Amino acid sequence: MTNSNEVSASYDRVAEEYARRIHAELAYKLFDRELLDGFAARVKGHRPVADLGCGPGMVAAYLAAQGVDTVFGLDVSPNMIAHATTLYPGLDFRVGDFSKLDAPDNSWAGITAFYSLIHRPRAEVQGVLREFYRVLAPGGLLLLAFHVGKEVRHASEWWGTAVDIDFVFFETGEMLTYVWNAGFDSELDVEREPYPDIELQTRRSYILARKPDLSAPIEPVSDAPADETT
């Protein structure tokens, strides 16, 4: 697997073309927008919300447009952050490694990570998810997106530019296991086919998970039968 320094360098080299091609793609992805709308409705007005692996900033910008006023983006590529800042000057974008977050425990309301874990070896994914768990407040939400499959694809060229980067595909059940083992409860998992002529033609998966709120009161269980007519 390529290391994080080479991932950063590869994205730095393609950042301008990536931003040109990708930053407006949510306009054509109704399903993604619907998931983000539901996520935004639940986290806005609370603690900070982070878009991790934000690229040129389109997910963070979409959340802000839905009323999430404390959203920021984080990415390992300085050039991606520069393009995000240019495209969306009113938002906060930062260079950083999301496997070692500079945030206190229990401090964020939500995390989106769209195609952000795909450059991590399988053996590291659960540890990264535990870091996400650490910074989320009880009841905080995590929304993941990734390519479906079992393979690892290597790219040495991307849009005519030399890169050295691996793309890891995950089965939905596999990612759910990582999510659960990191401590999350899953609320939704769903797959879709790719949008023609808009994106790479790979099947996509989404997982919405929640950090349990262990302080929430436990509902009493009634002893009465569920249906007394039978």
How far is C-alpha 3 from the geometric centre of its chain's CA atoms? Answer: 20
User: Has residue 96 got a pLDDT over 70?
Assistant: yes
Q: Which helix (H) or strand (E) holds 22?
A: helix 4-22
Q: Look at residue 221 and tell me if it is in a domain.
A: no
Contact 113, 143 (CB under 8 A): yes
Determine the pLDDT at residue 229. Answer: 40
User: Has residue 228 got a pLDDT over 70?
Assistant: no
Determine the pLDDT at residue 101. Answer: 96
E runs forming strands in the chain: 49-52, 71-75, 92-95, 108-114, 136-147, 152-158, 161-168, 185-192, 204-210
Q: How many independent structural domains does the chain possess?
A: 1
204-226 pLDDT per residue, tens: 999 999 999 977 655 555 444 44
Q: List Cβ neighbours of 86 (8 Å cut-off, separation of 6 or more).
A: none
User: Has residue 2 got a pLDDT over 90?
Assistant: no
* pTM of this structure: 0.90
Q: Look at residue 216 and tell me if it is in a domain.
A: no
Q: Look at residue 202 and tell me if it is in a domain.
A: yes
Q: Look at residue 223 and tell me if it is in a domain.
A: no
Q: Look at residue 220 and tell me if it is in a domain.
A: no
Determine the pLDDT at residue 206. Answer: 98
The overall average pLDDT reported for the chain is: 92
Q: Look at residue 224 and tell me if it is in a domain.
A: no
Please, which pLDDT band fits residue 230 given cuts at 50, 70 and 90? very low
37-60 pLDDT per residue, tens: 999 999 998 889 999 999 999 999
Q: What is the CATH number of the domain that holds 86?
A: 3.40.50.150
Q: Look at residue 96 and tell me if it is in a domain.
A: yes
Contact 50, 134 (CB under 8 A): no
Q: Look at residue 108 and tell me if it is in a domain.
A: yes
Q: Which domain holds residue 123?
A: 4-210
Determine the pLDDT at residue 1. Answer: 63
